[in-house]
Amino acid sequence: MKIHKRFLSTLSIAAMTFIMALLVSVPAHAAEGDIINTSNKKVYSITSQEAIKALILDMKSGTNGGWLKEGKDGKYYDPSEKLNLQTTEVVRILNVAKVDLKNPSAIKSYITKNAAAIVPSVTAQTENVTQKIIDISSYKTVNAVVDFGVKSIE
């Protein structure tokens, strides 16, 4: 099945809206949500604006993969894998409901009207995301942005 750019754009917007709603409803914990990079061995705290700026700079500069996010239980997961699981589930639900995947208005309308039923199903699928235990004791915590690099303080 050929997927059109318009469909992907609409689905991406719907998925991001869903993710933002989930993030807002999640209670804050000490290090939950922190981002690590297993390539450059850095920890980016989501509670620090400077660390977030450094994270963005590192991502833009093409720092190699290995981006993982800390979950509630202290284990790490790949946010891309989680998004892929969510997208796959939303597409499955739309297919079961026979929603025209080439019609952004139909997709938006269905998701809006059925969000209460969709959210639990998508949430259940995200439980299947691969989680890893990673020892970050040797990682550097990013505290400040310096020019176009980052300054790390252990």
pLDDT tens track of the chain, all 154 residues?
Answer: 455 666 666 666 666 556 555 544 443 333 788 999 998 899 998 888 888 888 888 888 877 778 999 998 889 999 999 999 999 999 999 999 999 999 999 999 999 999 999 999 999 998 889 999 999 989 998 876 654 444 544 4
Question: What is the pLDDT, as a whole number, of residue 57?
Answer: 86
* Measured CA distances, 13 to 6, 20, 32, 51, 62 (Å): 11, 10, 24, 26, 24
Which range marks the domain in which residue 98 is found?
5-153
- Type of residue found at 134: I
Amino acid at 35: I
Q: What DSSP character marks residue 28?
A: P
pLDDT value, residue 23: 47
What sign does the CA torsion over 89, 93, 95, 96 have? positive
- The pLDDT, as a whole number, for residue 153 is 47
Residue 67's φ and ψ, nearest 5 degrees, are -80, 120
What total of structural domains would you count in the chain?
Answer: 1
How far, in Å, CA of 140 to CA of 3, rounded? 41
DSSP designation for 71: -
Question: What is the Cα 135 distance to its own chain's centre?
Answer: 21
How are the residues of the chain apportioned to helix, strand and coil, as percentages rounded to the nearest 5?
45, 15, 35
